[in-house]
Amino acid sequence: MDGSLLGNVSGVIFFLLFQVNGFILADVFLVHERRGVKWFFGSVFGSFLLHWMPTVVSLFIGFSAVSNVAALGCTFGLGILATMYGIRRDQAAQKDGARPVQEPFSLPGFARQNWPVFLMALAVIGYGALLATHTIPEMDGALHAGQSTYGDMNMHLGFITSIARQGVFPPEYSILPGTMLAYPFLCDSISSSIYVFGASLRLSYMLPMLFAAAQVFGGIYLLAERWLKSRAKAALVWFLFTFSGGLGVYYFTPLAGEESIALSDMLSGFYLTPTNLVDHNIRWVNTICDMLIPQRASLFGWAMLFPILYLLYRAVYEQEKRYFIYVGVLAGGLPMIHTHSFLALGLVCAGWLLMSLIQRYREWKTDSFLEKYAYGARIGVLIVIAGLFILFGYQSAAGNGLQDNVYFAVCIAGLLVFAGVLFWQLAAAFRRGDGRQLFETWGRLLLIVIVLALPQLVTWTFQQSAAEGFVRGHFNWSNESDSYVLFYLKNLGVVAVLAAVGLVRASRDQFRVAAPAVLIWFIAELVVFQPNVYDNNKLLFVGYVFILGLCADVVIDWLKKIRVKAAACLFLILFLCLSGVSGGMTMAREAVSDYELYSKGYTEAARFVEAATPVQATFLTADNHNNAIASLTGRNIVCGAGTFLFYHGLDYSEQERAVNQMFQNPETSAQLFADYHVNYVVVGSYERAIEGIDTEWFEQNLRKVYENQEVSVYEYAAYLPDEA
């Protein structure tokens, strides 16, 4: 948990060596990209290798320092092979004069061409500073957290420590022993690969996240820059995404009247920010504070997704056909990093495939319906979808909402229409002789994804999503009381208005790229893919990036039409303030938030457990979400927090009853202790809060192996009767 200097150095070097191999691969395979893009993708490739290389090796020999070193060796072998391939290719290209010549590196020239990079570098530094205050800093012997990390971080810490300490692979839930970990665990195993070398848990947790945050920021910027052909527009997209938030600031002004919230309450309250006011139906959160810091799966998923979308854009719209292969490999590894990102990528692929086929069809038949009425068709589709949602929203607000299976059926009907149009366009492509090209591009991508992703989906994802409460119909995301239009006006603010304008005025090329946002929004508003309806925002935020591209295009174009520079600057400042004030206030609240996560007593007990008990031991503890034994030591506990297990689709009712029974009636629960392989019992403040706990029995009958002012640890194995 605490690590050592040698362990920290070893873990950092191990991580950076994967980054180095990523740079090698990017330099070889992204030969036509500018230098800054190569550096960026070197980091992306390095993180992808660290997600997957140790995973593949550990499937055969278990997860350990040895398996990770072997994975690093395989990675270096891959780098050597790539280098040899690159040398031979360059030699052949030089003979033909086809090798592109890179301009000499110049820092001033790089700065002029990539000035937004420096803004994002400052943002990453700020992100790191915020993350450092939120990731178990020790204060007076206790470990602390921030507002956003008080919840999910406990689960992720448990995954990281249990994978590294127990070495069982594929991993199991340490908070529900014997159950395979179906959650996309690669977002945590990347930290386990650092932790296993003796690095501190805090360093292991934060280091990959810093790189992932930079990859999210860079991926969004590069995608927007390539699409919108403007650094200013791309920088604005990044700003709007980073400072996301709607009009929740209204409730912190006198205009809200009796509903007004004092700023002092915001700075001290728990989730009382302008981007997360559940009582006022404000649910569109700030991406930094509510997504990229607490939700590791979303962070690492987006760190892969947006760079993948950049490569896919280059492949589809700029004819870089070999990029389809790169996209296939990266996409094939995405399901166990973040399943929602994999689904979002699939929807974007479907949208871009249809848009590219329609464009080719219009070029093939210049007198076709699509050529004459494409703009009207776009407006018609948008009006139909918007009208449908407004109608559904009106019925829901009036208390006459339809049943969930009806919404699910509407979604399926819409997808069938989409599929029909897609197959019509595919058939037309084969008629005009584009079949071979499709096989060599989209066909290759699909084949690679199927080969790589299908085993993951069958082994983990489908089993979890088949549980009750996962895929089902549900309308209007997290809206609980407002009309459909009012809800999104409140939550998206000025972006909602600009989005409507942008969708209507977008040029053909711009709309072709942004069209998947409509598909994503249509599906995410009618179907949920997990027990927690709120988590559909992991899909909605991907569509949101494309919407922000259209908004940035509108704003920058308007600015160019303002001839007076002072007026243009004033307009821009007002727009940035209006669109970013809610997000900025949320960041301010997050910066000062501080909560004790693990008390001094539980932290000291965890240190003892880590140092003096077998890694495969099972502990009987309370099921509090901030369980120090599960999170900090990687040991198994009989049953963890239902707030984690329920939303993973797991039935933990028997284990929950068993925990209460063993604490309340330990004398008659010998068989339960045996069934759940309990080796140690923890009795601390959380356990004493269990109604009816028989603490005297543990004190009188079990050997106490550790005690401090708050927590006692008993060894149960010595008491087990032979027949148990």
Q: What is the pLDDT of residue 723?
A: 42
Question: How far is it, in rounded angstroms, from Cα 217 to Cα 124?
Answer: 8
Stronger pLDDT, 524 or 386, i.e. the higher one:
524
**Are 107 and 245 contained in the same domain?**
no
Asked whether residue 94 is domain-assigned, the answer is yes
**The domain boundary residue, chosen from 557, 575, 592:** 592
636, 666 Cβ separation under 8 angstroms: no
31 occurs within a structural domain: yes
DSSP character at residue 277: B
Judging by DSSP bridges, how do beta strands 471-473 and 527-529 pair with one another?
A: antiparallel
Last residue of a domain, one of 113, 137, 163: 113
Q: Is there a single domain that holds both residue 645 and residue 673?
A: yes
Bridge partners (DSSP) listed for residue 637: 619
Residue 546 is which amino acid? Answer: F
| Torsion 511-514-516-519 (CA) sign | negative
| DSSP 8-state class, residue 254 | G
- In degrees and rounded to multiples of 5, residue 657 shows phi and psi of -65, -40
At 724 the pLDDT is 37
Q: How many residues does the chain have?
A: 724
Which one, of 506, 580, 516, 513, lies nearest residue 542 by Cα?
516
Mean pLDDT of all residues in 31-42: 91
Residue 342 sits in the same domain as residue 460: yes
Cα angle 542-113-317, degrees, rounded to a multiple of 5: 45
**Structural contact between residues 610 and 670, judged by C-beta atoms closer than 8 angstroms:** no
Closest CA to 308 of 335, 285, 281: 335
The answer to whether residue 158 sits within a structural domain is no
Confidence at 59, pLDDT banded by 50, 70, 90: very high
Identify whether residues 605 and 588 lie together within a single domain: no
Q: Which residue, among 271, 331, 289, 332, has the nearest Cα to 306 in the 3D structure?
A: 331
Which pLDDT tens digit goes with each residue over 621-678? 999 999 999 999 999 999 999 999 998 889 999 999 999 999 999 999 999 999 999 9
How many whole angstroms from its chain centre is CA 465? 17
Tell me: do 544 and 671 sit in the same domain.
Answer: no
Cα of 671 vs its chain's centroid, Å? 41
Same domain? For 646 and 531 the reply is no
Could you tell me the CA-to-CA distances from 75 to 48, 55, 87, 100 in Å, in that order? 11, 12, 18, 27
Q: What is the pLDDT of residue 530?
A: 87
Residue 512 maps to a domain: yes
Query: What is the tens place of the pLDDT at every residue in 299-345?
Result: 999 999 999 999 999 999 999 999 999 999 999 999 999 999 999 99
Residues 256 and 177: beta-carbon distance below 8 Å = no
Q: For residues 258 and 274, state if they share a domain.
A: yes
Q: Count up the domains in the chain and report the number.
A: 3
HSE of 450, CA atoms in CB hemisphere, 13 A: 6
Are 675 and 554 members of one domain?
Answer: no
DSSP result, 423-466: HHHHHHHHHTT-HHHHIIIIIHHHHHHHHHHHHHIIIIIHHHHT
Determine contact, residues 123/580, Cβ cutoff 8 Å: no
- Containing structural domain, residue 676: 599-715
Mark whether 56 and 35 lie in a shared domain.
yes
Q: Measured between alpha carbons, how far is 704 from 711 in angstroms, rounded to an integer? A: 11
pTM of the model: 0.93
Whether residues 539 and 394 fall in one domain: yes
Q: Please tell me the distance from the alpha carbon of residue 146 to that of residue 139, in angstroms, as a whole number.
A: 13
In a domain, 170, yes or no: no
- Considering the domain architecture, whether residues 496 and 604 belong to the same structural domain is answered as no
Runs of H (alpha helix) within 466-536: 484-492, 494-505, 508-524
What are the tens digits of pLDDT across the range 463-508? 777 666 688 999 888 888 888 899 999 999 999 999 999 998 888 8
421 and 455 belong to one structural domain: yes
Give Cα 345 distance to the centre of its chain. 13
Q: State which of 592, 614, 635 marks the end of a domain.
A: 592
Asked if the structure places residue 169 within a domain, the reply is no
Q: What is the CA radius of gyration of the chain?
A: 27
Measure Cα distances from 518 to 54, 371, 595 in Å: 38, 21, 40
Q: Is 699 part of a structural domain of the chain?
A: yes
Counting beta carbons within 10 angstroms of the beta carbon of residue 405, is it exposed (0 to 12), middle (13 to 18) or buried (19 or more)?
Answer: exposed
Domain contains 161: no
What pLDDT is recorded for position 105? 61
Using N-to-C axis directions, what is the helix angle for 494-505 and 565-592, rounded to 10°? 130
